[in-house]
């Protein structure tokens, strides 16, 4: 049977992708951030998962305001790289895993999570930057990916508690797949940042560090943070952190933090990276 062996939480700042694509990761500005990604890349290469589920939000790339799915799962064979307004990132197309993806979609819906299903969609920096952060610049991504989109662009996003429960349902779905697959799940976005208005640039290191600690110490308490509290304390776009709860919910009770990296600034954002291994899995 398939099982979720680890979770990765990772900010998906577009400028991080641009720095890699333009080869500027060694500059004084970027070097401290990228240096901190090296241990995560070694860890992931060693883990060599069979599939990754990447929980992220689309940023007006695949979906506009015409149709706004709260939770969506991709079941395609392949996902092209989106043009977000300045040409697609020069990274490999993302290969899907339709077998497991369809199984998860069916299982989630029957488990009372009313997913939208996507047979065709491009993927944007929300998905590709975490892959770049953790895999570097390979000619092809090292594993197939199941994209799982959460709306955080049109208020309100789903609550943290609901996202956590979705994660738990994803774990049940994966566990009932009869192929022997080792799955890693990514929760992306955050950490503190505000991209808009007179208050742009807000960073709350204290909030972020407490959030990183809470992912292992008391994840259920974190799920009670309201949207207003995320926005007030850590910036309007920090509400993306609800997506970390999907990842955490999918891991179950016993986890071990094996790595973290936190750096300010990455453009307007506090970039966080957290690796949790599932110690409760069979």
Between residues 86 and 180, which has the closer beta carbon with respect to other proteins?
86
193 is catalytic: yes
Distance CA 282, CA 252 (A): 11
Tell whether residue 140 is a contact of other proteins (CB under 8 A). Answer: no
Between residues 119 and 206, which has the closer beta carbon with respect to other proteins?
206
Give, in degrees to the nearest 5, the angle at Cα 62 between 59 and 67: 90
Tell whether residue 200 is a contact of other proteins (CB under 8 A). Answer: yes
**Torsion angles phi and psi, residue 137, rounded to 5:** -125, 60
> Of 1-9, 132-140, 224-232, 240-248, which part binds other proteins (CB under 8 A)?
224-232
Tell whether residue 87 is a contact of other proteins (CB under 8 A). Answer: yes
Catalytic-role residue among 193, 245, 261, 263: 193
Tell whether residue 16 is a contact of other proteins (CB under 8 A). Answer: no
Between residues 114 and 228, which has the closer beta carbon with respect to other proteins?
228
Distance CA 91, CA 79 (A): 12
Between residues 202 and 250, which has the closer beta carbon with respect to other proteins?
202
Eight-state DSSP code of residue 216 = H
Distance CA 56, CA 246 (A): 10
Distance CA 51, CA 54 (A): 10
Tell whether residue 64 is a contact of other proteins (CB under 8 A). Answer: yes
Eight-state DSSP code of residue 193 = B
- State both tokens at 261: 């990296």
Any idea which residue has 């790339």 for tokens? 61
Distance CA 186, CA 149 (A): 11
> Of 101-109, 174-182, 217-225, 259-267, which part binds other proteins (CB under 8 A)?
259-267
Distance CA 212, CA 102 (A): 32
Catalytic-role residue among 12, 103, 125, 261: 125
Q: Which of 45, 60, 120, 140 binds other proteins (CB under 8 A)?
A: 60
Between residues 107 and 128, which has the closer beta carbon with respect to other proteins?
128
**Torsion angles phi and psi, residue 255, rounded to 5:** -135, 160
Q: Which of 169, 202, 241, 246 binds other proteins (CB under 8 A)?
A: 202
Q: What is the dihedral of CA 195, 196, 200, 205, to 10 degrees?
A: -50
Tell whether residue 83 is a contact of other proteins (CB under 8 A). Answer: yes
Q: Which of 137, 155, 210, 280 binds other proteins (CB under 8 A)?
A: 155
Nearest CA to 7 out of 177, 182, 262, 158 is that of 182
Tell whether residue 77 is a contact of other proteins (CB under 8 A). Answer: no
245 is catalytic: no
The residue ranges that bind other proteins (CB under 8 A) are 14-15, 59-61, 64-66, 82-87, 153-156, 192, 194-205, 207, 227-228, 231-234, 236, 264-265, 267-268, 270
State the catalytic residues. Answer: 125, 193
């Amino acid at each position: 049977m398939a099982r979720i062996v680890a979770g990765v939480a990772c900010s998906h700042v577009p400028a991080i992708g641009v720095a890699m694509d333009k080869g500027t990761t060694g500059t004084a500005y970027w070097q401290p951030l990228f240096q901190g990604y090296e241990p995560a890349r070694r860890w992931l290469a060693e883990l060599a998962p069979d599939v990754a589920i990447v929980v992220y939000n689309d940023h007006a790339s695949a979906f506009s305001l015409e149709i706004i799915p709260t939770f969506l799962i991709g079941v395609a064979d392949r996902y092209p790289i989106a043009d977000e307004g300045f040409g697609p990132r020069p990274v490999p197309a993302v290969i899907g895993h339709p077998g497991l993806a369809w199984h998860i979609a069916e299982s989630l819906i029957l488990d009372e999570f009313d997913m939208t299903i996507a047979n065709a969609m491009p993927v944007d920096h929300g998905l590709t930057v975490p892959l770049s952060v953790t895999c570097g610049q390979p000619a092809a991504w090292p594993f197939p990916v199941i994209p799982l989109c959460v709306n955080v662009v049109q208020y309100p996003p789903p609550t943290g508690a609901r996202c956590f429960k979705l994660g738990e349902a994803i774990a049940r779905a994966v566990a009932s797949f009869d192929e022997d697959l080792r799955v890693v799940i990514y929760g992306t976005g955050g950490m503190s940042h505000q991209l808009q208005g007179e208050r742009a640039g807000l960073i709350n290191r204290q909030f972020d560090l407490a959030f990183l600690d809470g992912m292992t110490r008391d994840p259920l308490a974190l799920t009670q943070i309201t949207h207003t509290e995320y926005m007030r304390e850590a910036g309007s776009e920090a509400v993306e952190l609800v997506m970390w709860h999907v990842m955490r919910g999918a891991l179950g009770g016993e986890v071990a933090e094996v790595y973290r990296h936190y750096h300010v600034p990455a453009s307007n954002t506090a970039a966080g990276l957290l690796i949790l291994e599932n110690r409760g899995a069979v």
